[in-house]
Structure 1
Amino acid sequence: MHLSGLTQIEVEARQKQFGFNVLPQPAFTSDLTFIWRQISSPLIYILFLAALVSSVFQQYTDALVIVVAVVINTGLGFIQERKAERSLVALRQILSPRARVIRGGIQQEINATQLVPEDIVYVTAGDKISADGEVLQAENFWVNEAILTGESEPVVKSSKFRPKASTNGRWAFGPDPPLADAVHSSQKNENLLPQTANRELLTANSRVFMGTVVTAGLAKFKVIAIGQQTEVGKIAQSLKTTPDAPTPLQIRLNNLAKFITLVVGFTSLMVFITGVVLGKHWAEMLTTTVAIAVAAIPEGMVVALTVILALGMQRILKRQALVRNLVAAETLGTVTVIATDKTGTLTQGRLQVVKVDTKVAAELYRAVILTNTLLDPIEIALWDFVKTKVADAQELKNTTVPMKVLPFDAQERLAATIYPDVTYVIGAPEVISERTNLSSQEKSKLHKEIQAWGNAGLRLIGLARKTNSSAPSLGLELNQLNELTWLGLVGLADPVREGVKEALLACSNAGIKVKVVTGDHLLTAQAVLGQLGIKITDPANQILEGAEIEHIPVAELVKRIEEVLLFARVTPGQKLKIVEALKHKGEVVALLGDGVNDAPALKRADIGIVVNEASDVARETADLVLLDSNFATIVAAIEEGRGIFARIRKVVLYLLANSFSEVILVFGALILGLPLPIGAAQILWINILSDGFPSLALTFEAKESGLLRHKPLSSLAPLLDTRRKVLTGMISLTIGLISLFTFIFSFSQTHDLLLARSVTFSTLGLSSLFYILAVRNIRLPLWRDHPWHHKLIILSIALGVLMQVGAIYLSSLQVILHTTSFAPLWWVGIVMAAVFVVGVVELVKLFYTDRI
C-alpha cells in the first residue's frame, strides 16, 4: 500500500465490499411502536376485556367510555416517549464527525462514514478517531481510551514501525516531511513506508480505536476496520441479543393487574353463582356481572399513572437529566445503590494546578512557560495556571526561542529545554531533586513532601534550572544534566465538583449506598473520596482492585460487595460483574458509565446512567442521560423518582378504594334481593370523570418534603402494602355500605327506582370526591395537612361536584346516564354521608399513621 492513499476506484470497491463506516444504529422507533408500548400493559388488557364484554351485552355507551379512557392514556404516553426519543436523536445529530484522509495523493476532509479499510487518516489533538487503525507515524501522540478501557488517563501511542530519531526530536521516516506539515498540507506525498523487512509486529500501543479521543500530538494511521467490524461495533452488535429486564414499576403494575383480575374474576363469579342460587335468571345475572366488572376496574388509573410518569420525566429534565422511557422515571425512586465513576462526575474531569511550593515563584513560572509544548493534559493544565500568574506568558514564549528541546524520556523521567543562558528541566520531582545541589537535609524534607502530596492523590511535577556559563553543547543529553538549581514542586489534581459532597450526604440520609467504580489508580481515587468525606477505615475490606475482581469467584464477590466502597483500576468488563453481584444481593442498581464497553453493564443495571458526552453506544443503552455530567443531578433525579412513586401510591389508593366501594354496593344489593342500585354508565362516569379530576390533581401535586430522609423501598414492595390494603378496604366498605343504605332508604321512601339510583349515584360520587382530602396525605391528620393550601385538590373537587350535579340536572346527561333530578333536600343527606366517610378515613389514619 502506498501512502499516497487509495484511488477513487479503490474506495468505491471497498465500500461495496465493506459498506459504510457506521455503527449498528437502533431502528428508528415508529409511531406504531410507541402506540403498542402504551397498550401492551395488563391494566389496558383488563379495560379492553371490559369493553368487549360490554359490547357483547349491547352496553355500547359503557364500551365507548372505556375505549376513550384507553385512547387518552395511549395519547399521553405516546407524546411523552416520542418526545424523549426525539431529544436523544437530536443529541446524536449535534456533531457530524469528519476525517482528514489522503486519497490519490491529495489530502482532503470527508464525512467519517465514508472511511474504508486502508484509508490513511491524519489526526491531531481534539480529534475523535473515526475507525480502528494502525499508527504509521506519530509525534507525542496521546489518546484517551476511557470509552473502551475505563482508564481516564491518556495513553501514549507510537508507530508499529521502528523509527529513526531526528535531531529536532521528531520521528523521521526517510524523506518524509515533518508530520505537523503533512497534517496541514494538501500536496502529494511519496511512498514513505519502510520496507517489510524493517517492520515490527503490531503491538497494543500502535493500535487506535473508533470513538477514542486524541488529547495531544499528531499522528497518521491506516484504517484496518470500520463500522461493525471495529471493537466498538462488535460491542454494539452484541447488545442486540441482551434482553431488557422488567423494571420494578413494571413488576408492580403486573402484580397489581393480577390482583385486580383476581378480585374482578372472583367477585363476578360469586355474584353470578349467588344470583342464580337465589333464583334470578342467568341472563340477568350476566348483565349484573358486567356491572360488577366495570365497577371493580379503575378505568381512570391508567391515564393517571401515565400522566404521573410523563410529568415526572419533565420535572427530571428540568433538573438536567433526560429519561428515555416512562417507567424508568419511577425506577429512579427505588434505587438502593449508585455505582458511579469518578472522573468527570464526582470530579470536574480536567487537571488543574492545586498546589505549588516554591521560594522563587517568578523563576518557576518562567520555567513552566519556556518548557511547555502544550502537547499533553499536564502541560495544558500548567499553561492554564501560569497564564493567571504571568500576564505576558504567550509573548514570552513566542519571543524566546530554544536552542534545543530534549523531549520527555520515559527512562530518565524528565525533559529539558536548552536556551543560550539557561537550561530548564521538568519532570518527576523525586528524580530531578537527586540531580540538584540541595543538601541532604533539604532533599530529605523534599522527599517527605513529595510522598505526602502523592499520598493525597496529586500528580507531581518538579522544575529546576541550570545556568549555562558558556554556550551549551547541542549534543547535551538528559543523563548529563546535574548540579541543577531546584525551583519548586507543582501538584495537579482533578478537583471535585461543587455540590457533590452535599449530594453524597443526601444519599447517606436517604439510605442509598454509593460505590465508586473507577479505572483510575487507587491512591488518586482514595484521595478524591477523602475530599468528599468518604473515609476508608478498613482498606482490606472496603477496597477492591480490578486484578482481584478478575479472579475472585462471583459467590465470593457477592459476600464481600456490601462493605466495598471503592473499586479501583476496574475494566468495563468487571463493571458488569459488579452489577451482577449487587443485583444478586437484591439491590436496585443505578450504574454510571460513559464508555462503549460500559454498555453491557449499563443495560444489566436497573438504571443505566451516562453523561451527555458519553459514547453513542453507551447513550443508546442508558435509561438516563445527565445533561450536565454532575453526580448531584443523579441524586436530584432519584428524589424526583421517589416523588413519582409517592404520587402513584396515592392515586392507586384513591381509585381502588372507590372502585371496590362500587363492588360492595352492587354485591350488597344482590344479596338483599334488591334491584341493581347503580348502572354501568354511572360507574364509568364516577371512575373516569368525577374521580378523574382529583386523581389528575394528585399527579400535578408538588413532591412531598423530606423524600430523601427515608430509606428506599424494597424493589419487592407492592404498590399496596398490607396497611394500605387495610385502609383501602375500610374506605371501600364505608362508602359501599353508606351508598347501599342510601339506596334502600330512598327507594323505600319514594318507590321510584330511577330517583333512588340517582341519589345513590350522587352519594357515591360525592363521597369519592370528598375523601381525597383525607387520603392525599396518610401520614398527617386532615387538620394538620392544611387542605385549603392545596388549591389544585380543592379545584378538582369543585369541578367534580359540578360534573356530578350536571349529571343529575342536564337533560342530555340524564338520557346517557339514566338519571333524574331530585329535590335539594336530598343533597343535604348526600353531603352529610360524604363528610361521614372523611371522618371514618381519619379515624383509620389515627390508628395507622405511625405505621404507614
Structure 2
Amino acid sequence: SEDVVVGDILILEAGDKVQADSRLIEAREFMVDESLLTGEVEPVVKHAAAIAKDAVIADRVNMAHRGTTVTNGTARAVVTAIGRDTEVGEIASLVKETREGETPLQTQLRKLSRILAGIFVAIVVIVFVMGLVIRSGQYSTIELFETSIALAVAAIPEGLLIALTVILAIGMQAIVKRNALVRRLLAAETLGSVSVICVDKTGTLTEGRMRVTRLVTAESNFDYDELRLVKLEKEDKYPDALFALRIAALCNNAAVREVPVDGLAPQFFGDTTETALAETAWHAGLRKNELDDVFRRVHELPFDSRKKYMATLNHVDHEARLHVKGAPEVLLKRSAFFEKNGKRHELSEHQREWFFKAQESLAGEGLRVLALAYGAAEPGQNELSDKNVHDLVFVGLLALSDPLREDVPETLGLARNAGIHVAMITGDHASTARAIGRSIGLSAKKENVITGEELAGMSDDQLPAVVKRATIFARVNPKDKIRIVQAFQKNGEVVAMTGDGVNDGPALKGADIGVAFGSGTDVAKEISDLVLLDDRFSTIVSAVAGGRTIYQNIKKVVVYLLNSSFTEIVLITGSIIGGIPLALLPAQILWINLVEEAFPTMALAFDKGDRENMKKPPRRKGAPIVDKQMKIIITIMSAVTAMTLFALYFWFYRATGDIALTRTITFVALGINSLFFIYPIRSMPRMIWQMNLFDNRYVVYSTLFGVGILAAAVYLSPLQLLLRTVPLNLAHWFVIFLFGMMNIGLIEAMKGIFLSRMRMPKRLTAL
C-alpha cells in the first residue's frame, strides 16, 4: 500500500484487501465486505455506474474503500485517495481530534473538595481565634494550634480517596460478573449516570449473523421455528417447501465441514446469506454435501448486480436441471410457471401478483427476500448463459434477517423504566430500520427516524433539538455517529455509545462511556471504557445497574465520613464555647479518622445496592454528590450525634472531674457511634428495621474489628501512652453502648420524621 498513489489502477479479486479508496471502472459479480466502515455484516454488491455525488458511505456502490475486503468477483478501480485522505484515514484523524472529558464523578469531587476546603479552613481559623480571644489563658497556644491542625485533618475525609478506590475496584469486579469488562476505574461510576444509550443494531440488538426467518410457497408458509422442527423430507406432505430448500442448497457456494458427532450441525463457511440457506436446508433434512454428490454441478452463473440472480446447472442421472435464486421481481418476470403441491402450473397474472404481495409483506417486516426457481436444460448441456434463464418454474420465497436477540424487548423495557433513552444506530435503509425498531419496542414514527442524509443537511446547532425525539438513526456513517454523541451531550445527557469496528473509534472516544464488543476489533476495545464479553445489549443495561450501585455506595461513604468530621468539629467548638477542657485530643481525632473509620468505609464497597435503583431516573449531569437532601441528612445526623455526645462528655466531666477518664469515654463513645452509624446510612432511604443488617458480612466484620481496636486503644500500654487513654470498667462500657443505641434510636426517629414529611423515597432518587 506504500507504493500506491492517486491515479493508479488496482486489479481486485476475491480475498483481496483494498489498499486505497478507489472508484470502480469495471466490475464483474463484485462484492465487498464493508463492515469495517459501516458495521453491517452483509457484503455490498458493487458496480461501476455513476451515483449521486452526496451519497453516504453505505450507498457508494461504485467505490471500494481502503481496509475493506473483496468477497466475490473481480474489478478494476482507479485510486482516488490514499493515507489520511481515505475514509479510514479520516476516521483515525477524528479519533485523535476527539478529546476525552472529565467523568461526572471527577467533576463533582473537584467541586466538593473546593467547598469543603473553604468551609473547614474557615472553621479551623474560627476555632483557633475563639480559643485565643474568648478563652485566653485557658488553653495554651500550642494546644490550640495542635487541635486546630487535628481538626483540619479530621474535617477533610482522608479515607474518602481510599474508599473510592476500593468501591470502584469492587464495583468493577461485580460488573465483570455481569459479562462486562470496565477498562478505566472511574468509568465504573460513570456507568451509573448514563441517560442515553446509542446502540448499534448489528451484533448487539441482533445476533450479527443471517438466518432464514420465513419460507413461503404457493401451498405453505413456514416460520423459523417450524423450519427447524419440521423435517421436510416427508415429500408427500411438504413437496414445495422441500423443493425450495433443495434449490437453496444446490444454488449455493457455502462450504460445509461435517462435525464427527451425531446430531450436531456441521460448520458452514462463506457468504452469510448462503451459509444461512445451507444451514436451514440441513435442519430440514437436506445435507448439502450429499445433494452436491447427487446433483453434480457442471456450470454456474455467479450473482451479478445487474441481472440480480445466481444460477447453477446440475446433472442428475441423465437429466440436466437449472437452479436459480435471486431478486423476486427478476425471477417472477423470468418465470412462466409455478410449483404447487409438487406439480407445475401456469403462472397467471393473479398468482404472480400474489407472490409480489407476499414479497412486499416480508420486505415490510425488514426482511431480506430471495426467490427460488428451477428450469429445464437440454440433456448433456454443460454450459449456461443468460439466455437459458427463462420460462422458469417459480417455487417460493425465502426471507432472511439478522435475528433479534430474544432478551432485547425486555431489556428495552428495563432501560425505559430506568429513565434511559435508547437510540438504535444502523446502516440499514430507513424502512428496514423502522420495521426492526417496531419489532423491539422502539417508537418508529416518521419523526423518530433520522437518516444519514438528513443529518448531513443539519448544522451542529440544529442537531441537539432534533435528537431529543430520535429513537432510530438509519443509513449513518462514522462521522454521523460522533455528531450524534455530541448532540446528546449538548442536551446535558451522559451518553454510552456501542461499536466494534475502526469506524466507531471517534464516537467511542467522544462518548462518556464507549462500549466495545468483545468480538470487535482491537482498536475499538483499546479506545472503549467498557467491553461487552458477550456482545449483548442486556449486558450494557446490567452494567448501568452496577454503576448506579457504585454511586450509591460512594454517597454512603461521603455521608458517613462527613458526619464524623462535623461531629468532631462541633465537639471541639462546644468545648471552647463552654469553657471546659477540649473533649478530644489531636491524636484521638486522628485515630478515629484514620484507623477506626477506615475499615467500615471500605466495607461499604460490598453493599449490593437498592433493588429499586433501576426504577429511578438517572441523576442529572452536574448534580452534586452532596445534594440538598444529603445536606439535610448530614446536618440532622451530625447535630443529633454531636449534642448527645457533648451531653455525655459534659455529664461525665462534671460528675467525676477526671478529664483523662472523661476524654477516654468520649473517645470510645465517638468510635462506637461511628461504627453503629454505618447501619442508618446503609438503610437509606428506608428505616433501619426494613433492611437486613447482616447481608453485608464485611460491614459486620469491620464493626467487630473496630470494637476490638478501640479496646486495644484503651487497654494496651503503648496506645494508652499515644492516645492518653485510661482503662474503662464494665459500667463505663455499658454506658457507652447504651449511648450508642440511644443515639441510633434518635437518628432513626429524626429520619422517620424527615422521610414522612419530605416523602424521602421519591425525592432521594439518587441515594
TM-score, scaled to structure 2: 0.84
Structure 2 residues not aligned, in runs of 5+ = 50-59, 220-239, 255-269, 337-346
1:435 aligns with 2:334: yes
Give SS of 2:396's match.
strand
In the other structure, the counterpart of 1:779 is 685
- For 2:121, which of 254, 265, 280 is the aligned residue? 265
Distance 1:666 1:486 in 2: 94
In the other structure, the counterpart of 1:103 is none
1:274 aligns with 2:130: yes
Distance 1:123 1:257 in 2: 62
- For 2:170, which of 290, 308, 311 is the aligned residue? 311
1:136 Cα deviation after fit: 12
1:568 Cα deviation after fit: 0.5
1:414 aligns with 2:309: yes
In the other structure, the counterpart of 1:671 is 577
1:287 Cα deviation after fit: 2.1
1:205 Cα deviation after fit: 4.7
Q: 1:221 to 1:823 in 2, by over 3 A?
A: farther
1:209 aligns with 2:118: no
- For 2:533, which of 603, 627, 637 is the aligned residue? 627
Q: 1:635 to 1:369 in 2, by over 3 A?
A: same
1:379 Cα deviation after fit: 1.8
1:386 aligns with 2:386: no
In the other structure, the counterpart of 2:245 is 365
1:322 aligns with 2:181: yes
In the other structure, the counterpart of 1:559 is 465
Give SS of 1:408's match.
coil
In the other structure, the counterpart of 1:548 is 454
In the other structure, the counterpart of 2:150 is 291
Matches within 5 A, 1:91-240: 129=17, 132=20, 140-156=29-45, 205=62, 207-210=64-67, 212-213=68-69, 215-216=71-72, 232=88, 235-240=91-96
Give SS of 1:319's match.
coil
Matches within 5 A, 1:516-595: 516-536=424-444, 538-539=445-446, 541-595=447-501
Amino acid in the other structure paired with 1:508: R
1:463 aligns with 2:362: no
Mapped contact 1:661–1:736 kept (Cα < 8 A): yes
Q: Single out whichever of 229-238 and 571-580 deviates more from structure 2.
A: 229-238
Per-residue CA deviation, residues 602-653 of structure 1 (Å, 9 max, x unaligned), is 2221111111232333222211111111101101100101111111111111
Amino acid in the other structure paired with 1:209: R
1:578 Cα deviation after fit: 1.2
Amino acid in the other structure paired with 2:683: N
Mapped contact 1:515–1:565 kept (Cα < 8 A): yes
Distance 1:244 1:807 in 2: 48
Per-residue CA deviation, residues 394-440 of structure 1 (Å, 9 max, x unaligned), is 12214533343222222222222234522122111122112222111
- For 1:827, which of 728, 733, 750 is the aligned residue? 733
Give SS of 2:640's match.
helix
RMSD: 3.0
Mapped contact 2:42–2:272 kept (Cα < 8 A): no
In the other structure, the counterpart of 1:5 is none
Mapped contact 2:100–2:509 kept (Cα < 8 A): yes
In the other structure, the counterpart of 1:252 is 108
In the other structure, the counterpart of 1:57 is none
Structure 1 residues not aligned, in runs of 5+ = 1-10, 19-117, 161-202
1:401 aligns with 2:291: no
Matches within 5 A, 1:390-789: 390-419=285-314, 421-437=320-336, 438-468=347-377, 472=381, 474=383, 477-478=385-386, 481-536=389-444, 538-539=445-446, 541-789=447-695
Q: 1:448 to 1:571 in 2, by over 3 A?
A: same
1:260 Cα deviation after fit: 1.7
Give SS of 1:344's match.
helix
Mapped contact 2:151–2:589 kept (Cα < 8 A): no
**Identical amino acids, percent of aligned pairs:** 38
Distance 1:406 1:370 in 2: 13
Distance 2:286 2:374 in 1: 22
1:446 Cα deviation after fit: 1.0
Amino acid in the other structure paired with 1:629: D
Q: 1:262 to 1:801 in 2, by over 3 A?
A: same
Amino acid in the other structure paired with 1:379: E
1:336 Cα deviation after fit: 0.8
1:305 Cα deviation after fit: 1.2
Q: Single out whichever of 147-156 and 594-603 deviates more from structure 2.
A: 147-156
Amino acid in the other structure paired with 2:42: E
Amino acid in the other structure paired with 1:646: Q
- For 2:713, which of 799, 807, 813 is the aligned residue? 807
Distance 1:431 1:223 in 2: 34
Amino acid in the other structure paired with 2:43: P
Give SS of 2:203's match.
coil
1:236 Cα deviation after fit: 3.2
Q: 1:207 to 1:431 in 2, by over 3 A?
A: closer
Number of residue pairs matched by the alignment:
692
Distance 1:479 1:138 in 2: 21
Distance 1:726 1:700 in 2: 26
Give SS of 1:567's match.
strand
Mapped contact 1:131–1:227 kept (Cα < 8 A): no
Per-residue CA deviation, residues 466-505 of structure 1 (Å, 9 max, x unaligned), is 123555584x532553221111111001100121121111
Distance 1:241 1:435 in 2: 54
Mapped contact 1:131–1:225 kept (Cα < 8 A): no
Per-residue CA deviation, residues 745-804 of structure 1 (Å, 9 max, x unaligned), is 333333333222211101111111112222211222122224245443333222211111
Q: Single out whichever of 287-296 and 553-562 deviates more from structure 2.
A: 553-562
Mapped contact 1:368–1:382 kept (Cα < 8 A): yes
Amino acid in the other structure paired with 2:166: V
Distance 1:410 1:159 in 2: 10
Distance 2:373 2:110 in 1: 70
In the other structure, the counterpart of 2:261 is none
Mapped contact 1:591–1:607 kept (Cα < 8 A): yes
Matches within 5 A, 1:792-803: 792-803=698-709
Amino acid in the other structure paired with 1:725: K
1:376 Cα deviation after fit: 3.0
Give SS of 1:343's match.
helix
In the other structure, the counterpart of 1:181 is none
